[in-house]
Amino acid sequence: MNIDNFQELIDLTDYLATSNEYLIRKFTEGGNYLIIDTYGDFLIIERDEVDTVFSTIWNDLYGPISEEIPHTLN
């Protein structure tokens, strides 16, 4: 990933973490999240939508948290 292509966004965010394919940053103002993949694609997730987005992904992978016995990876 060539982070220089995102310098304008990088300057507005703080580093949080990296995984094998993603750089995760948080905007200094507003608290929104920036996720950049190794292909240079990026996604901005608004702070107010983080819970909904990740709950949807979690529920797809493991089943709803409300299940007594959640399933493992769909």
Total-model pTM: 0.77
In-domain check, residue 66: no
> Which is more confidently placed, 29 or 69?
29
At residue 69, the pLDDT reads 60
d(CA 35, CA 41): 8
Query: If you average pLDDT over residues 36-52, what whole number do you get?
Result: 93
**Position 56 in a domain:** no
Summarize pLDDT for 14-42 with one digit per residue, the tens. 999 999 999 999 999 999 999 999 998 99
pLDDT for position 62: 84
* Cα dihedral sign, 21-2-32-29: positive
Domain membership of residue 65 (yes or no) is: no
Please give the residue range of the domain that contains residue 34.
3-47
Q: Is residue 22 part of a domain?
A: yes
Coil, helix or strand at residue 26: strand
**In total, how many domains does the chain have?**
1
